[in-house]
Structure 1
């Protein structure tokens, strides 16, 4: 929780209240407002990021949902695609569809890929199906309905008609239609996206409404805005209609935070590293802009294996996630190797050292045993760390099996975690054609600064930046996010037979729709008195050689297409293709598949932070033993200084509020005058 006032930033952390998620938010609000000495009625903006939708999809605790689709496509979400995420696993278990077969229903309508009506919509058949949905044999009525017809991305008339008939009979049922949620080709991905939206819609609408109501009851008068997976702000109304856009809202804030820090320091190539309680997330940021994608996976059965989850086709900040958080559970596998994650103790029951009922050893327990964390200065309110409990858990979960002391077991756990993160960063960079060693790592989150030094060492990265407010970086990122929304639409066009007028009409429609929503959200969020805000627009087209299965993004100019638009697109595609794959393929037909328009309020200017020479003018204090797998167990000294800097020391630990930093041995790097905190280095 972060509050920004004229006097600076005030932050706090509270544990999740699982029974009533909004209560934890309110507890944090009251605490941080009291710390800052301000009144709730004086708040101008309230921005919220949440993992509630994600957790509901993973734990399957959403609404009872039905899917209505075109006859012959009832089992599309179960048949998936021909891809196997583990090709040689003969016992491979595919993910279970979000909606069971008994809850999937069909209509005999049909629209072709060119928009022609192959089978007309039958109102009588639709009304009969509505009665089936209303009168379930087992008496367990539906709370939500997802509607996904074949080729509805071309023409959503049939979907809208069925929604109207359904709401006439069942006005209290939530209805999601794929032509509004995700108007893109590829029915497996589109159907999953609309199913996910419908599945969490009642939950999120209730939660957001209750949060807004209780905030107002406490005296707050400002509107609530939500940060979506693409890194922009949207209203509660939009979030309630399209809650699937909230699936990656929390991590998106972290990427925006890192991009803002990169802009302030003039960094063009950044690897953001966000380590929280359950996972660590890594994102490539170039030219102060996070990389984005138009699809991602959620609820993977093999947590970090691509293809094992539910594909969601929405704009999202692209990042890789691994099970390497502070609460990740450590153990020994059948081969006698230490394994960490993906299971996590979370905040309840939490690591063994929390004393809240957790018994399994975690990364936090290992850091505490190694001396990297101090029970005296731990940043979570109300939690007293127990080193004895941490050692007991490590002995039982790792040491006893491998014949290791608790110190050595802790070293092994930390080394495995750091190597897992380094491998994930390498893979993510290679998949995007980047050399990670030329990037600067920006580390934030409660655990990232503690492990970032070793990560940089493994990746041969020379620069590591730990910004102020690192432990609440994602929340600070919410404050830096623009009001923005991105629309994606499938529209097939060959560059050799390009209808520039049709493309211009389609892009203009997308812009007009998004601009209206962004202006309304900006006026509500920022209380602008000078009229509508200025808007920035990005336009992209997703292209491929004819016959290929996937596309690459090509950026478009603001100017409309003319009669040479097809030739222009072909030239830009071949240039982008050569940058991605090293060569273009002459003589092949080129086609555009998808189009994207992103409308946003401008990014505010930032104050540049200049480099300063590293300072060795530090004060010495008491000693504490720090265990390190590369240097043994040296004795360190407490050091203090009054500006952000770097120390070239054997082993050190830097503490600032609720995050810790331990650079690797001899880690040199430039410092930057980003604030003047007082920190402690052990």
Structure 2
């Protein structure tokens, strides 16, 4: 049987299939397709048909031999970035409707006088105060005014509201009022989606909880429509099984669950890459790896080390997100990122992207802005005739013209010099992103191996590795579809977070154990619904703790139940973790528990990713600009095919050289060498450096 993973990105959609087709030998097959943003579901079917062609069969037959489809998508993220979500209202405690707009102070931008805050997703006229109140213990201070809820529904109907977020003070301790409000909304406004903060983000901090709930209300109707269409399209080809969705946590759920929680899919694509990052680290026996994935729209970075914990809170497009998420840093530096001159004549790259349509100028689809991909074509690093495995031709003259007109001529330089500057700026931008997740967080990049993924990044990786003094860069042959490939190793999962307050001096293990037991029962039920038997269910407990008076918590993993003796062990673990993060401890300060997080996961199975595909050797020469290779002028470099490196370190290719993979090309500068370390994984190191 076959497993299929589909990763819909801003520019390309990637498809990976592994398994045995009609009792053949197990293998891995992958394809890429331009993302059709106007017809996403139909575009997915077109890509699946291309995948079926690669298996030499039709789509109906392929799906009949398929046991699982896994899907990650940027749909919710794109709807947020483009402000194309549902018309959303907010019902909140009377007197607090402006918390969403007041926000918190943006400390990272405090010296930028021109810094802009993101748009408020709910206009003030649709932020409606409801008379009700819970206290800090979850006790009712003021009963819910049900007529006020009905009146608010009438106003929402007049404004054509499609979705409503409900977020009352202290509802994470007592959701009674939120649940009754939802019942009234469904009576008054059938068909309108309702998101409750007690379901979406049941934890302390009013603004972050409200922001997360509003995001979910704003995005979920968009995802619902898409998933309905996807299921309908697949059903026409005989698919009737569940579709598993990749989540921010790196686990899988199904379309039924995600049809209520679109906010959990915002990082679904990069989360697949994080899973692949850990898999490659294990496969190559590298304990410390940094994934660098450069797609068409963004550049994503993820660190895999001994911790590999989720972060309890993050930001997306400037909006707080208070749900567990894999720690991924993204910047606007993809192959489609647009290069431009600002008002002072300074050349900038990104964050705006040309997307898939019209795309870079070299696509010949009407693009009029110079992009990173155009620069690579001008430099000769991308072959005009072999792009996307030869499926799509590129026009170098169009790339040269747009770079000359928009970059080179205003700077009084040649188009090649302009393209080289774009290349260097993009390289430094990506290096800075890696510094953010390593040096800024106390990690020495020199002990990490860099994993190069995405269609464009292998042309930058060696130069970036050198700038960061990293050990080596690894290229899996599935790198161009790395996030989709990574999804194939993900397991079914659900996460539960509860705010639970206990200071050191109030230690009562029985109270903690009761909460954890309740959370486990919820987790067992949800995993059971997803089809995971009890003997394959694992539970990972994390306490979010801080010193009393601190602003934020840190995550402390814990195994087993709590006893009266557990307090001292927990204190040791907390102090040790605090010191590893902040380089100090305050043993004279009292600590407190703020939240409990329980990850309920399917037990990991044997690696279901079969050996990488192998290809025949192909040798050629190409004239390129020498600067990216550490040389000057135009030079002639040999072009190898990745199939020449399928052994385990038996052959080495010295730079300057290019190595063609399916859908990407690896650049080896002068003074560097590449060799295979495992079947399908290429390693590049600098001469004299130890990997």
Fold-level similarity (TM above 0.5): yes
Q: Answer whether contact 1:182 1:190 (CA < 8 A) is retained.
A: yes
**Does the alignment pair 1:421 with 2:436?**
no
Shift in Å, 1:418:
0.5
1:445 maps onto 2:450 in alignment: no
Aligned to 1:180: 199
Question: What is the alpha-carbon distance in structure 1 between the residues aligned to residue 31 and residue 161 of structure 2?
Answer: 40
Residue 392 of structure 2 corresponds to residue 383 of structure 1: yes
Corresponding residue for residue 516 of structure 1: 525
* 2:456 is the counterpart of 1:456: no
**Once the 2 structures are TM-superposed, how far is the Cα of residue 609 of structure 1 from its aligned partner?**
12
Correspondence for 1:119: 142
Return 502-511 or 235-244, whichever deviates more: 502-511
SS in 2 for 1:45: strand
Query: Structure 1: how far apart are the matches of 2:336 and 2:155?
Result: 46
Report 1:579-618 matches (<5 A): 579-606=580-607
User: How many residues of Structure 1 are paired with residues of Structure 2 in the alignment?
Assistant: 649
Q: Give the structure 2 partner of residue 431 of structure 1.
A: 440
Quote how far apart the aligned CAs of 1:133 are: 3.0
Q: CA deviation at 1:285?
A: 0.4
Q: Which moved more, 1:86-95 or 1:335-344?
A: 86-95
Superposed, 1:328-407 pairs within 5 Å as 328-379=337-388, 382-407=391-416
SS of match in other structure, 2:668: coil
Indicate if the aligned counterparts of 1:538 and 1:598 stay in contact, CA closer than 8 A. yes
**Equivalent position SS for 1:358:** coil
RMSD: 2.2
- More displaced stretch, 38-47 vs 409-418: 38-47
Corresponding residue of 1:79: 102
Matched, 1:237 2:236: no
* Residues 1:247 and 1:621: Cα distance change in structure 2 (over 3 Å): closer
Q: Which residue of 2 aligns with 1:628?
A: 627
Alpha-carbon distance in 2 for matches of 1:340, 1:472? 24
Report the CA distance shift for 1:676/1:253 in structure 2 as closer, same or farther (over 3 A).
closer
Aligned pairs for 1:45-60 within 5 A: 45-60=68-83
Measure how far apart 1:408 and its partner are: 1.0
2:44 matches 1:25: yes
Cα 1:479–1:639, aligned 2, differ >3 Å: closer, same or farther?
A: closer
Q: 1:130 pairs with 153, 159, 164, which one?
A: 153
| 2:289 aligned residue (270, 277, 283) | 270
Give the counterpart of 2:544 among 524, 539, 542.
542
Where do 4+ consecutive residues of structure 1 move more than 6 Å?
Answer: 607-610
SS in 2 for 1:97: coil
Instruction: State the Cα deviation string for residues 522-561 of structure 1 (Å, max 9, x = none).
Output: 45xxxxxxx555122211011111011011111111x111
Q: Say if 2:640 and 2:658, in contact at 8 Å, map to a contact too.
A: no
How far 1:82 moved relative to its partner? 2.9
1: CA distance, partners of 2:326 / 2:440: 15
The yes-or-no answer on 1:97 pairing with 2:102 is no
User: What is the TM-score of this pair, normalised by structure 1?
Assistant: 0.91
Residue ranges of structure 1 left out of the alignment (5+ in a row): 300-308, 524-530, 611-617, 678-682
Instruction: Determine the structure 1 residue equivalent to 2:313.
Output: 295
How many Å separate the matches in 1 of 2:328 and 2:122? 27
1:14 corresponds to: 33
C-alpha distance 651-142 of structure 1, shift in aligned 2 (>3 A): same
Unaligned stretches of 5+ residues in structure 2: 1-14, 21-25, 612-616, 683-691
Does 1:468 pair with 2:477?
yes
Alpha-carbon offset, residue 216 of structure 1? 1.0
Is the 1:264–1:606 contact (alpha carbons within 8 Å) kept by the matching residues of 2?
A: no
Measure the CA separation in 1 of the matches of 2:68 and 2:626.
45
Contact 1:228 1:248 in 2 (8 A): yes
Q: Secondary structure at the match of 1:164?
A: helix
* Distance in 2 of aligned mates of 1:401 and 1:457: 31
Does residue 326 in structure 1 map to residue 338 in structure 2? no
**Cα–Cα, structure 1 residues 638 and 144, in superposed 2: closer, same or farther, change >3 Å?**
closer
Separation of aligned partners in 1, 2:154 and 2:436: 51
Compute the displacement of 1:669 (Å).
Answer: 6.0
- Whether 1:673 and 2:678 are equivalent positions in the alignment is yes
Which of 504, 511, 517 is equivalent to 2:513? 504
Q: Which of 553, 556, 560 matches 1:554?
A: 556
1:250 equivalent to 2:269? Answer yes
Equivalent position of 1:564 in the other structure: 565
SS at match of 1:13: strand
> How far apart are residue 85 of structure 1 and its match?
3.5
CA displacement, residues 55-99 of structure 1 (integer Å, 9 cap, x when unaligned): 111111111111000011100010001334421233443222111
2:19 aligned partner: 5
**TM-score w.r.t. length of structure 2:** 0.90
Q: Distance in 2 between matches of 1:261 and 1:53?
A: 28
